[in-house]
Amino acid sequence: MTGLVIRTTGSWYKVLPLSDGGVPQAASAAVDCRLRGSYRLRGNKQTNPVAVGDHVDYSLQSDGTGVISEVADRRNYIVRKATKLSKQTHVIAANIDRLCIVVSLAPPRTTTGFIDRLLVTAEAYHVPAAILFNKADLYDADLREEYEVLKLIYQGAGYDVRLLSALDGTGVADLRRDLAGQTVLFSGHSGVGKSALLNAIAPQLNLRVGDISQWSLKGKHTTTFAEIFPVSIASSPDRDANAGTPGALYLIDTPGIKEFGMVDIEPAELSHFFPEMRRYLHGCHFANCTHRHEPHCAVKDALDRVDPDTGLPLISAGRYANYLGIFDQIASGNEPW
């Protein structure tokens, strides 16, 4: 049998059986599994052999528990260091379909620096990202205009950009439809409305709104381990009734983990994590161009060239400025963030 790991506690793993089509069954069908005694970690860089989000093969025992025999290759995963100085890493979650970055142009306003750091992290982990501009109901004409420009910039870089309001429901039905069947990690600084937005998508979550402590599925659990919450969104009248669209959202919660994952990026490779820069890298005169002060730099040239479709520069000055900021930060100590 195959299943999706939704929780890990010590040597036990909670596994949702997957149907032949790969669709997980209801949370009530979860099976408590252990790892086969002879299972060996491939390589020794990671301290945990099984993480939430893993797809596993398991067999049922007569007592109703399961034994995991195989862990499928991961499409992507996020890690943190096992201990502060360790070279080993701990896999927080695997096979993430989407990172939803919740941001707001109304107070508490999110900076593009924050957005771009998270996007670099998402690129480094190969996790597709969406930027959700929440609190749309509070945007006046100026903020609305600003949103439209940011939308063009980030869409141009290849990201999914959406306008949302947890308060008046703007964009909520579309988001719910598009997240159905996906394993999603929500991130964003406190106060931007993550809890309110999740409640709007799935009211049964009933998360506390307006709590200034760091977001997590409060009251649902007390562990500090990442966990996946299967949330039924099938009962919604807005749901797209397409056959085969599983009516569930698999919400990853990472309590106690301040930022989603840690990354260790060399300054020289940073531009690879800005998709719109990646397009021009081959045009730079120097193969090891850092796109700061080098002559004949195709990235810097693109700052001055205008996209005829949008009327905006091919690479935005704001994104480039954030590139320089992150470059300096990692060059001065290579601190993961």
CA–CA dist 291, 104 (Å, integer): 30
Residue 297 interacting entry, from ligand GDP, Zn ion, none, C-beta within 5 to 8 Å by type: Zn ion
CB of 215 closer than 8 Å to CB of 251: no
Q: Taking CB under 5 A as the criterion, which residues in 259-318 touch Zn ion? A: 284, 289, 291, 297, 299
Is residue 189 within 8 Å of residue 201, measured between CB atoms?
A: no
- State the binding partner of 194 from Zn ion, ligand GDP, none, CB within 5 to 8 A by kind: ligand GDP
What are the structure tokens assigned to 248, written together? 């569930």
Q: Minimum CB separation from Zn ion for residue 326, in Å? A: 16
The H or E element that residue 15 is part of is: strand 12-17
Q: How many CA within 13 A on the CB side of residue 195?
A: 16
d(CA 101, CA 270) in angstroms, rounded, equals 20
Count of residues of this chain found to bind ligand GDP when the rule CB under 6 A is applied: 19
Residues 182-211 interacting with ligand GDP (rule: CB under 6 A):
188, 190-196, 209-211
Residues 110-149 that bind ligand GDP (CB under 6 A): 134-135, 137-138
Residue 167, binding choice from ligand GDP, Zn ion, none, Cβ under 5 to 8 Å by partner class: ligand GDP
Site string for ligand GDP, 143-182 (x = CB under 6 A): ----------------------xxx---------------
CA distance 14 to 117: 32
The CB density around residue 85, as the number of other CB atoms within 10 Å, is 6
254 forms part of the interface with ligand GDP (CB under 6 A):
no
Query: Number of helices and strands (H, E) in the chain?
Result: 7, 13
Two structure tokens written together for 206:
């009933």
Q: Residue 89 binds what, of Zn ion, ligand GDP, none (CB under 5 to 8 Å, by partner type)?
A: none
Q: Which residue's C-beta sits nearest to ligand GDP?
A: 193
Q: Cα separations (Å) of 267 from 106, 127, 186, 273, 315? A: 33, 20, 27, 11, 19
32, 13 Cβ separation under 8 angstroms = yes
What is the smallest separation between the CB atom of 206 and ligand GDP, expressed in angstroms? 12
* Among Zn ion, ligand GDP, none, residue 299 binds (CB under 5-8 Å by kind): Zn ion
- Rounded-to-integer distance, Cα 232 and Cα 247, Å: 6
Residues 209-238 vs Zn ion: string with x where CB under 5 A?
A: ------------------------------
Q: Which is nearer to ligand GDP, 150 or 265 (CB)?
A: 150
d(CA 20, CA 244): 12
Question: Which CB, 5 or 150, lies closer to ligand GDP?
Answer: 150
* Contact partner at residue 209 from Zn ion, ligand GDP, none, CB < 5 to 8 Å by partner kind: ligand GDP
Q: Which amino acid is at 211?
A: D
Q: What tokens were used for 161? A: 């950009």
Q: Which residues bind Zn ion (CB under 5 A)?
A: 284, 289, 291, 297, 299
Q: Which residues bind ligand GDP (CB under 6 A)?
A: 134-135, 137-138, 165-167, 188, 190-196, 209-211, 215
